[in-house]
Amino acid sequence: YSGAGKLLHQAGAPTLIMTSSDRCAFGVLQYVTAQGLRVPEDVSVIGYDNLPPVQDINPPLSTIDHRVTELARRATRLLIDILEGNRIEGVQEWLDTDFIVRESTSICP
Per-residue confidence (pLDDT) for residue 55, from 0 to 100: 80
From the options 3.40.50.2300, 3.40.50.10490, 3.40.50.300, 1.10.274.30, give the CATH code of 2-100.
Answer: 3.40.50.2300
Q: Flag whether the pTM goes above 0.95.
A: no
SS3 state at 4: helix
Who's near 68: CB < 8 A, 6+ residues apart?
Answer: 49
C-alpha 58/C-alpha 29 separation (Å) is: 9
State pLDDT tens for residues 13-67: 899 999 999 999 999 999 999 999 999 999 999 999 999 888 889 999 999 999 9
**pLDDT band at 84, cuts 50/70/90?**
very high
Per-residue confidence (pLDDT) for residue 52, from 0 to 100: 87
Higher pLDDT, 91 or 76: 76
Domain boundaries, the chain: 2-100
Maximal CA-CA distance, the chain: 59
